[in-house]
Every structure is written in C-alpha cells, then in structure tokens.
Amino acid sequence: MPNSSNQRLSSVMSHLTSSKPKVVICRNLGPAMPLLMDRTDLDLVVWGEDSACTRAWLLENIKGATGVLVLLQEMVDAELLDAAGPSLRVVSTMSVGTDHIDLPLMAKRNIRVGYTPDVLTEAVADLSVMLALMAGRNDGVAYSLVKSGDWPKFNWSPFTFCGPQLSTTSSSPSRTVGFLGFGRIGQATLARLIPFGITHVLYTGRSTSAPDSARDTALREKHRLAAVEHASLDRLARESDILFVLTPGGQDTYHLVDSVFLRKMKPLSVLVNTGRGTVVDADALATALREKWIWGAGIDVLEGEPRISADHPLVKEPRCVIVPHIGSATFQTRMDMATRAIDNLVAGVLGGNMPAELVAK
C-alpha cells in the first residue's frame, strides 16, 4: 500500500468512469485487504496509509459512494451524509460501538449499518479477567518498582504489595462478582472466573434490561454457583467484590458509576471497566481510589480517550491500571473484525444480508 503523503489518494480505482458501486475504505486493513482488493465487482477508493484518514479526504472521496467502511475515528454525521449524496446506502464500522454514527439519521435516510459484535467477546473477556488480577494485586505499583530500577533498594515486609485475592480461600470461602451489563462478554468473563471459586453473581444493566430467570438458573447450575441474581444498582455496589462494567454507552448509562455508587462499594473491592468509558465518572473514581473507598481499578476504556495525559487524575492513582483500549487487540480478533466489517459492507452494497446489521432507530 502507498505510504507517502503525495499518494494518499492512490488506490482510487477508475471510479470516475466505472459503473460499479463505489465504496470508500477509510483505513488500510492490513492482512484483510485482499478480501477487498481481489474483488472485481466493486469500485474501491482506499486510504492507503496505516493511519486515520483525514476528514477532508473522506468528505471529498465519499461523493457518489454506495458504501463506506469506517472505524471509531470517523464521525458518520449529517456533514458526511450530505457530502456522499443520495447514493450512500451502507455504512460498515469495524467496531461494536456505534457512538461515532448518528443512528437516528441513518434510519431517517434509510442507510443500513453494519457492525462487528460477537467476534470480540472472547478477547474482551480475557482482558477483563487480566485487569481484575492486575488491579487487585497492585500491578501498577509493583511493576513500576521494577521498571524504575528501585527493586534492589526496596525494604520488603510481610504485607507489602498485598491486595485482595481473586480466588476463594479457607478463610474467605465466598466471592461475589458483579456485572453492570451481563450480555455475551459478561457471561464469557464469568466462565473464566469459575476456576477461581466464584460463588455468587449479581448483575444489572440499563433500565430497560429485564431479568432472565431461565438463563440465570441455567448458569447457576452449569457453573455450580450459589446464586445468579438480577440486582439493584445499590445492591450491586454494596455486595460486589469485583465489579465488571460491560454495559453499552449512551445517555441511559452515562456516569451510572458515580461518587454515590462508589461510596457504597467495599474497601477491598475492585472495579474493571472494559465496556464504555462514559459509564464511569473518572473524577469520582479517582477520588474513590485516593480516599480508599475501593481498593483498585482496571481500566481499558476511559471517557475522553485517547486524549489522556500523564496529568489525568486516574493516571496519577497508583492502584489504577490503565491500558489504551486494547480489549479486542489480538491478531485473531482484529482479523475477524476486519473480515466481518468487509462482509457487511459487500453484502449491503450488493443488496444481500449482512452478517451483522444494526437496525437503526
């Protein structure tokens, strides 16, 4: 793929004279690109660099397009749709989240939306457990000691670096895990926690989410748990030893985890957010950690990302482990996501059934 700035408009494949449907690809999708480049039934316009396309490039090249493949960085709004014109029928995003897409506008203009759920479930569940362990075992503090070269100078004592154990013990025979959002990823995370001896599960979600008694009974029996229960936010906060935030973003869930919620949590509890940054009030969480309302936090998603500097209040908290939104960052999952996004795009453009279509309302 071309790399120089003078070639950013390359891979524009004779679209001015072609009768094939024009599709715009906003990112070099690496090993998945042959799935597009080998096709002869589409008129491709590709941003060839391994970086986000510029807004100016997108607005210029979207003109007359039938479909567009975007990532989280591309805002799909009225400006973009107006630039595309009435030909645009499909928007495919290589993401589960759709905060960057004006869904009501998509519905109003009858534009189909493809996204990539399911394929990242396992990878995000893996990371969720990793962050729970890292936060509970003071990884941020301990790792920094080694990284800085200060380990040889450290004065060890029997309870240095101790934190709450994830697994059950003879002196602590029960563990309650809470899920703020208990869909595919939540249940996959639970499955990974069972060998640690988890005994109780509490969950809740958006106000529109209803308990699923049959599913809960099946999970309780399958994993030999004492309980799997739908709970109020108040109970979720008070009883969870580990709380996984996995609910979607949006107005319904904005800052559900705020100072009031965090004050109710146990002093040795751990909060993990691999869902959406907007669900957790970052300033309140920083205060909770600083004043020891809770023990620690593992964060993959953070409100305002990626504009997170060393001065951010959570970055300054030693018991907060933050990674830069890498929940789906495995070779296998990213390839699956790219493939799904391409399949959605092609199916939508050619009038077929998308493997994963989001019905915009």
Which residues are part of the catalytic machinery?
325
In which order are the strands placed within the sheet that holds 296-299?
227-230, 200-204, 176-180, 242-245, 270-273, 296-299, 320-322
Chain-centre distance for alpha carbon 241:
22
Please list the alpha-helical segments (H only) found in 137-232.
139-147, 184-193, 213-223
Question: How many CA atoms lie within 13 Å of 224's alpha carbon, on the beta-carbon side?
Answer: 4
Alpha-carbon span 281 to 283, nearest angstrom:
6
Beta-strand relationship, 270-273 and 296-299: parallel
Is omega for the bond preceding 34 within 30 degrees of 0, making it cis? no
- 141 three-class SS: helix
